[in-house]
Amino acid sequence: MDDAVTELADRVRALLMAEPGLEEKRMFGTRAFLLDGRILVGARKEGVLLVRVTEEKGATLLTEPGVSVAVMGAKSMGPSWLDVTATAIESDDALMFWVDAARDSAAG
Protein backbone atom coordinates (compact mmCIF):
# COMPACT_ATOMS: atom_id res chain seq x y z
CA MET A 1 0.00 0.00 0.00
CA ASP A 2 1.59 3.30 -1.00
CA ASP A 3 2.15 6.23 1.34
CA ALA A 4 -0.55 8.34 -0.33
CA VAL A 5 -3.14 5.61 0.39
CA THR A 6 -2.04 5.32 4.01
CA GLU A 7 -2.10 9.09 4.52
CA LEU A 8 -5.55 9.45 2.95
CA ALA A 9 -6.91 6.49 4.95
CA ASP A 10 -5.60 8.11 8.14
CA ARG A 11 -7.35 11.39 7.26
CA VAL A 12 -10.64 9.62 6.46
CA ARG A 13 -10.43 7.54 9.64
CA ALA A 14 -9.92 10.71 11.71
CA LEU A 15 -13.06 12.26 10.19
CA LEU A 16 -15.21 9.15 10.63
CA MET A 17 -13.96 7.54 13.84
CA ALA A 18 -16.94 8.75 15.87
CA GLU A 19 -19.37 7.21 13.34
CA PRO A 20 -21.18 4.20 14.84
CA GLY A 21 -21.16 1.14 12.59
CA LEU A 22 -17.97 2.18 10.77
CA GLU A 23 -15.77 -0.60 9.43
CA GLU A 24 -12.50 -0.50 7.49
CA LYS A 25 -11.59 -3.22 4.98
CA ARG A 26 -9.19 -3.79 2.13
CA MET A 27 -11.24 -4.41 -1.00
CA PHE A 28 -10.38 -4.26 -4.71
CA GLY A 29 -6.99 -2.65 -4.04
CA THR A 30 -8.72 0.07 -2.01
CA ARG A 31 -8.77 0.75 1.71
CA ALA A 32 -12.55 0.99 2.00
CA PHE A 33 -14.60 2.57 4.77
CA LEU A 34 -18.02 0.98 5.22
CA LEU A 35 -20.98 2.18 7.22
CA ASP A 36 -23.41 -0.56 8.20
CA GLY A 37 -21.80 -2.83 5.59
CA ARG A 38 -22.08 -0.32 2.71
CA ILE A 39 -19.02 1.31 1.14
CA LEU A 40 -18.93 5.07 1.76
CA VAL A 41 -15.46 6.03 0.59
CA GLY A 42 -12.14 4.40 -0.14
CA ALA A 43 -8.49 5.42 -0.25
CA ARG A 44 -7.00 4.41 -3.60
CA LYS A 45 -3.54 4.53 -5.13
CA GLU A 46 -1.94 7.96 -5.50
CA GLY A 47 -4.25 9.33 -2.79
CA VAL A 48 -7.39 9.21 -4.92
CA LEU A 49 -10.64 9.10 -2.93
CA LEU A 50 -13.31 6.66 -4.13
CA VAL A 51 -16.74 8.07 -3.25
CA ARG A 52 -20.06 6.20 -3.42
CA VAL A 53 -23.12 8.38 -3.95
CA THR A 54 -26.52 8.06 -5.59
CA GLU A 55 -26.47 8.15 -9.40
CA GLU A 56 -28.39 11.44 -9.39
CA LYS A 57 -25.94 13.09 -6.98
CA GLY A 58 -23.00 11.58 -8.84
CA ALA A 59 -24.13 13.09 -12.13
CA THR A 60 -24.14 16.52 -10.45
CA LEU A 61 -20.83 16.02 -8.64
CA LEU A 62 -19.05 15.01 -11.85
CA THR A 63 -18.93 18.73 -12.69
CA GLU A 64 -16.61 19.37 -9.73
CA PRO A 65 -12.89 19.82 -10.50
CA GLY A 66 -10.78 16.67 -10.15
CA VAL A 67 -13.75 14.29 -10.27
CA SER A 68 -14.28 11.40 -12.69
CA VAL A 69 -16.27 8.19 -12.89
CA ALA A 70 -14.30 5.47 -11.09
CA VAL A 71 -12.75 2.70 -13.15
CA MET A 72 -11.91 -0.66 -11.60
CA GLY A 73 -9.87 -2.85 -13.85
CA ALA A 74 -11.35 -2.31 -17.30
CA LYS A 75 -14.84 -1.53 -15.98
CA SER A 76 -16.27 1.97 -15.64
CA MET A 77 -18.36 2.00 -12.48
CA GLY A 78 -20.97 4.58 -13.51
CA PRO A 79 -21.90 7.90 -11.90
CA SER A 80 -22.57 6.47 -8.44
CA TRP A 81 -18.84 5.64 -8.02
CA LEU A 82 -16.55 8.67 -8.27
CA ASP A 83 -12.79 9.12 -8.11
CA VAL A 84 -11.66 12.41 -6.59
CA THR A 85 -8.03 13.36 -7.25
CA ALA A 86 -5.65 14.03 -4.38
CA THR A 87 -5.33 17.69 -5.39
CA ALA A 88 -9.11 18.15 -5.04
CA ILE A 89 -9.06 16.93 -1.40
CA GLU A 90 -5.91 18.59 -0.08
CA SER A 91 -7.76 20.49 2.66
CA ASP A 92 -9.69 18.76 5.43
CA ASP A 93 -12.77 20.80 4.48
CA ALA A 94 -12.59 19.51 0.91
CA LEU A 95 -12.19 15.93 2.12
CA MET A 96 -15.11 16.39 4.54
CA PHE A 97 -17.30 17.62 1.65
CA TRP A 98 -16.82 14.28 -0.14
CA VAL A 99 -17.20 12.17 3.00
CA ASP A 100 -20.44 14.03 3.76
CA ALA A 101 -21.67 13.50 0.17
CA ALA A 102 -21.17 9.77 0.58
CA ARG A 103 -22.75 9.74 4.04
CA ASP A 104 -25.79 11.73 2.84
CA SER A 105 -26.28 9.31 -0.07
CA ALA A 106 -26.01 6.30 2.26
CA ALA A 107 -28.61 7.80 4.60
CA GLY A 108 -31.01 8.61 1.77
pLDDT by 10-residue block (mean), the chain, 108 residues: 89 91 89 92 96 95 96 88 97 96 87
Task: Tell me the C-alpha to C-alpha distance, in Å, between residue 87 and each of 46, 54, 70.
Answer: 10, 23, 16
Residue 92: the pLDDT is 93
State the Cα–Cα distance between residues 89 and 49, nearest whole angstrom. Answer: 8
Task: Kindly provide the b/e burial profile for residues 14-53, where b requires at least 16 CB atoms within 10 angstroms of the residue's own CB.
Answer: ebbeeeeeeeeeeeeebbbbbbeeebbbbbbeebbbbbbb
